[in-house]
């Protein structure tokens, strides 16, 4: 994980670097550091803690220079200490490196370099890169030394590198960790993601694996590891500057929860045409292929994996396609049985999750078609997979995924309509109903958000409980998992999601008067009555029931202590509506507990290491 930002300009870059770094803090906040070049020497400040804390101690804004690098760390190798904070330098203090990723052969490299007389100051894998470049610099130009060094490195890296004797050049390289170039006016940037530099530019170049970039204030060049120049496409990103700012909300998570009606509306926009679903040109799977597929396998992690479970339900129930959902981290290391009639779908907000990337690469070895559902245009996953459907959530900054999840559900729903239509598993009337259903969702989500005060009341009553259980069935079992994950990650309260009936096989033993039990119980023809029974079982044991029910429902009200209502819609859409109160509940509980909601401990927004 870790965040990297770098700027080279014809004027002082101090503030831009600081702002870029503060936008990247969601990627890691163990420690932070900055480096500038002044008069052929580095000025470096770094420390342990979040940017604001370290800034109070060292005053980053006192550093000056027309070129600089910044880094926020999510530690992998070496404890959280000032010595291990980036940037790391070589023995002569002439090469400064910031890194995101893991150098897998760092221990061998370190031994070799130590034998050659290099002195190491940190326990990090990153420091070997500075020394390795130094070792190769003898008699070589810096570009040659950099290439020679990177040829010896195994593992993942996004690197920002400065040479004290090259004060007009910012160097960057990537392999399996995200890194972009941003093109400004008389200034150019490198960064781990687009939102961090969106206030300065929306002209973006994506670095590919094993590419090295050299940026000056008026241009950039990209080479492969053999020094061959590469032509790169400049992408224009149409995200607004405001979308990467809090805009008056206390936290990004809250802002992003509230953005969901808009995000869903954007995700649907121009994709429903006369009862048909039309995705953009990045989705070119033929009707013929979609008719033929015998199986779908979905790979994803975390919240995206929960979205995949909802997708599984919809694909099987409506499009009648056997579907399996796999944790990407498991799928990548097993020999899945895939053939040409299987479609592999990867779901990822960031498009940079290391395990999901690896799972996609694994799937491609079998020659199967791959489709990614992703939020970040041009991210790694979208460049690896054959076809893409973008969720249009806009930048998601809060570590806890919210609007990315509901837009993933919306895309899966649209894809289900498309598949059902092509495969004729639903008739025109059913398709029409599905389309009418999803069109209502943005307004209906707004009405769920309007219940925020009641959700806050629940949070105020129960924020000090130590455990909680989330129960749901069918399409809402994944919503129970997702609700529990939200609570865990932002409040650090233990929570478990279960299929409601499965509770009897163990978790029921945990229920007593101190246990809040959140039950998702929308009115449906499938399991509603069974869930009422489950609520009774919880009640009989004194559990505190917080239920999500369909507006007008009286039965749930009779049994539950608190009821949050969601509007009536098709059962398949109840999951998009039901998750929103659970996101708000997790948010308010975490906020009441004084947690750092947008930067929960030990978590990073995109998990770019295994």
Catalytic residue set: 2, 605
**DSSP notation for 326-378:** EEHHHHTTS-----TTEEEEEEESSS--HHHHHHHHHHHHTT-EEEEEESSTT
What is the spatial distance between Cα 593 and Cα 547, in angstroms, rounded to a whole number? 22
Q: In Å, what is the CA distance from 226 to each residue of 110, 170, 175, 220, 223?
A: 24, 19, 15, 17, 8
- Nearest approach in angstroms of CB 603 to ligand AGP is 6
- Nearest approach in angstroms of CB 400 to ligand AGP is 4
Nearer to ligand AGP, 459 or 490 (CB): 490
- Nearest approach in angstroms of CB 305 to ligand AGP is 7
What is the spatial distance between Cα 526 and Cα 430, in angstroms, rounded to a whole number? 18
- Nearest approach in angstroms of CB 397 to ligand AGP is 12
Q: Per CB under 6 A, does 302 bind ligand AGP? A: yes
Torsion of CA 129, 132, 133, 136, to 10 degrees: -170
Question: Binding to ligand AGP (CB under 6 A): which residues in 312-371?
Answer: 348-350, 353, 356
Q: Where are the alpha helices (DSSP H) in 341-493?
A: 354-365, 380-384, 403-422, 428-449, 452-462, 477-491
Closest-CA residue to 85 (of 111, 37, 40, 53): 53
- Nearest approach in angstroms of CB 375 to ligand AGP is 8
Q: In Å, what is the CA distance from 433 to each residue of 63, 152, 549?
A: 60, 58, 21
Nearer to ligand AGP, 98 or 393 (CB): 393
Nearer to ligand AGP, 368 or 597 (CB): 597
Question: Binding to ligand AGP (CB under 6 A): which residues in 400-439?
Answer: 400-401
Nearer to ligand AGP, 128 or 328 (CB): 328
- Nearest approach in angstroms of CB 323 to ligand AGP is 19
The crossing angle, in degrees rounded to 10, of helices 260-268 and 428-449 is 160
Residues comprising the chain, all counted: 610
Nearer to ligand AGP, 23 or 349 (CB): 349
Number of residue whose CB is nearest ligand AGP: 302
Q: Given the rule CB under 6 A, which of 31-39, 232-240, 301-309, 365-373 is the region that contacts ligand AGP?
A: 301-309
Question: Binding to ligand AGP (CB under 6 A): which residues in 14-53?
Answer: none
Q: Which of 156, 260, 303, 323 binds ligand AGP (CB under 6 A)?
A: 303
Nearby residues of 320 by Cβ (< 8 Å), 6 or more positions away: 420, 423, 425
Q: Which of 63, 399, 435, 576 binds ligand AGP (CB under 6 A)?
A: 399
Nearer to ligand AGP, 3 or 437 (CB): 3
The interface mask with ligand AGP, positions 473-492, x = CB under 6 A, is ----------------x---
**Facing residues of 160 across strands?**
98, 172
**Cis upstream peptide for 499 (omega within 30°):** no
Q: Which residues bind ligand AGP (CB under 6 A)?
A: 301-304, 348-350, 353, 356, 399-401, 489, 603, 606-607
């Amino acid at each position: 994980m870790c965040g990297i930002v770098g700027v080279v300009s014809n004027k002082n870059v101090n503030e831009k670097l600081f702002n870029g770094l503060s936008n990247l803090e969601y990627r890691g906040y163990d420690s932070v550091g900055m480096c500038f070049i002044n008069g052929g020497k580095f000025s470096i400040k770094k420390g342990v803690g979040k940017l604001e804390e370290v800034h109070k101690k060292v005053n980053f804004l006192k550093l000056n220079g027309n070129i600089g690098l910044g880094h926020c760390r999510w530690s992998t190798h070496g404890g959280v200490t000032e010595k291990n904070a980036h940037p790391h330098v070589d023995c002569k203090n002439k090469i400064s490196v910031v890194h995101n990723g893991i150098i897998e052969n760092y221990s061998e490299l370190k031994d070799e370099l130590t034998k050659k007389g290099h002195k190491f100051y940190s326990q990090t894998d990153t420091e070997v890169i500075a020394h390795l470049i130094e070792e190769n610099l003898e008699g070589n130009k810096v570009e040659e030394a950099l290439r020679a060094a990177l040829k010896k490195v195994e593992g993942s890296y996004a690197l920002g590198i400065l040479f004290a004797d090259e004060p007009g050049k910012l160097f960057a390289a990537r392999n399996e960790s995200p890194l972009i170039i941003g093109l400004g006016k008389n200034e150019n940037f490198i960064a781990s993601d687009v939102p961090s530099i969106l206030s300065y530019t929306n002209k973006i170049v994506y670095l590919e694996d094993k590419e090295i970039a050299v940026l000056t204030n008026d241009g950039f060049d990209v080479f492969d590891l053999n020094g061959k120049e590469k032509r790169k496409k400049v992408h224009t990103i149409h995200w607004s500057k405001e979308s990467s700012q809090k805009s008056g909300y206390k936290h990004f998570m809250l802002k992003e929860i509230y953005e969901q009606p808009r995000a869903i509306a954007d995700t649907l926009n121009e994709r429903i045409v006369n009862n048909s679903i039309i995705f953009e040109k990045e989705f070119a799977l033929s009707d013929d292929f979609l008719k033929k597929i015998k199986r779908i396998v979905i790979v994803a992690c975390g919240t995206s994996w929960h979205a995949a479970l909802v997708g599984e339900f919809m694909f099987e129930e409506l499009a009648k396609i056997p579907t399996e959902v796999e944790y990407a981290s498991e799928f990548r290391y097993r020999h899945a049985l895939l053939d040409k009639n299987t479609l592999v779908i990867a779901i990822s907000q960031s498009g940079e999750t290391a395990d999901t990337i690896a799972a996609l690469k694994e799937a491609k070895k079998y020659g199967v078609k791959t489709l990614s559902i992703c939020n970040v245009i041009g991210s790694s996953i979208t460049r690896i997979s054959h076809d893409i459907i973008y969720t249009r959530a806009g930048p998601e900054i809060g570590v806890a995924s919210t609007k990315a999840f509901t837009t993933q559900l919306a895309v899966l729903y649209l894809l289900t309509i498309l598949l059902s239509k092509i495969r004729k598993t639903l008739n025109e009337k059913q398709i029409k109903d599905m389309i009418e259903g999803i069109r209502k969702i943005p307004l209906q989500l707004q009405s769920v958000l309007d219940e925020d005060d009641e959700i806050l009341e629940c949070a105020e009553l129960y924020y000090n409980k130590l455990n909680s259980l989330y129960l749901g069935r069918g399409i809402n079992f994944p919503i129970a998992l997702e609700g529990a994950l939200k609570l865990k990650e932002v409040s650090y309260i233990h929570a478990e999601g279960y299929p409601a009936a499965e509770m009897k096989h163990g978790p029921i033993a945990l229920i007593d008067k101190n246990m809040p039990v959140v039950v998702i119980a929308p009115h449906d023809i499938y399991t509603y009555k069974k869930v009422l029974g489950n609520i009774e079982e919880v009640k009989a044991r004194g559990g505190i029931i917080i239920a999500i029910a369909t507006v007008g429902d009286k039965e749930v009200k009779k049994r539950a202590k608190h009821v949050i209502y969601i509007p009536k819609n098709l059962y398949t859409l109840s999951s998009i509506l039901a998750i929103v109160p659970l996101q708000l509940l997790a948010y308010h509980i975490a906020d009441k507990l004084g947690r750092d909601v947008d930067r929960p401990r030990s978590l990073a927004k995109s998990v770019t290491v295994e």
